[in-house]
Amino acid sequence: MDFEQNNNLSEPIKPAGQAPKGTSGWKIFWGIILALSVIANIALFLMLIGLFAVFATGQRDVFAEEILRDGPRSAKIAVIAINGVIDDEQSENFYESIRSARKDKRIKGLIVRVNSPGGAVSASDQIHNEILKYREEAKKPVIAFMQGVAASGGYYTSVACEKIMAEPTTITGSVGVIAGYLVLQELLEGKLGIQPFIIKKGEKKDWPSSFRQPTEEELQYLDDKLLTPAYERFVQLVDEGRPALTLDDVKKLADGSIYGAQEALDEKMIDEIGYLDDAIEMVKSLAGIEKAQVVQYEKRFSWADFLGTSSKNFLKIDRAILYELSTPQILYLWSAY
């Protein structure tokens, strides 16, 4: 027993707090790993902030090329699409697309691909103007290719082109102007017991008002100031854009009627009926080339657009809706939409 006790006492006594042999090496190793992990996470975080900043502050309207038909890149035909209701955003996208076409010296001609019932008067007119400017400055052929519906503002933009081709099932025409707004008088006064009170200086300042039925004088005022000028401009531009039609021909067609492709061809509102490949061949013929690569401009995704839409529109949606409902919107729009 005494021998065992002596043996135990003879073992060296480890200082308090000293790590077991070999432990300090593992501590150093794991310390290095932890430090590298922290550095890597910080770098990744900074990289994500940088990418977000690029998306958020970079150009909003950057367009990429989608190849529709293969061909030599030295000769290209660009397709610019007008899809859906024509509004300010559509006009801005068209402007950016045609600006891209101006910069590319390899572009030999444009196809404006229209599938739209029309829309805002000013936005339709802006697109029409951009097409005419491109034709005048670039001296290159521009044709309209109609698909589905190319009515009212869709036709308004098309007549700026040198030629118009439509698919066999296309609906076009609807040359005219439409406007409308809501009269809330009965709802507010009769149902809700709300009596609107308007303060104004200038007799016609609130013509028309959504708080009362319009008078004949007010309706005539709107016709003279809004509808007639927009209608006459539509007729004028169709007359200028369609040499085969006389002014009297255009006025007969400008009653808001829609036309199928064959009827539109018979009335000389369009030049040919065909499909995209036929439109491409038409541009090649006008440009005097045999082969070309056909590309369509597509807008790239932008966080700036997403954030702008989600923040601005959400905050202003009530005011925007109230304004649209209570103010006459003068439109080059097929009324079926």
Could you give the residue numbers annotated as active site? 152, 205
DSSP alpha helices (H): ranges in the chain? 2-10, 23-57, 88-103, 121-138, 153-158, 185, 216-222, 228-241, 247-253, 261-266, 276-287, 303-308, 314-326
Question: What 3-state DSSP class applies to 172?
Answer: strand
**Which among 323, 326, 320, 329 is positioned nearest to 121, based on CA atoms?**
329
* Encoded tokens for 200: 């104004």
Query: How far apart, in whole angstroms, are the C-alpha atoms of residue 286 and residue 98?
Result: 19
Say which residue the tokens 């809706």 belong to. 321
Q: Give Cβ neighbours of residue 65 (< 8 Å, ≥ 6 apart).
A: 295, 296, 297, 298
**Which among 208, 254, 216, 218 is positioned nearest to 234, based on CA atoms?**
254
Query: How far apart, in whole angstroms, are the C-alpha atoms of residue 297 and residue 112?
Result: 11
Give me the DSSP letters along 36-99: HHHHHHHHHHHHHHHHHHHHHHS-S--EEEEEEE---TTSEEEEEEEESSB-HHHHHHHHHHHH
Q: How many CB atoms lie within 10 A of CB 71?
A: 19
Longest dimension (CA), the chain: 132
Say which residue the tokens 């541009």 belong to. 283
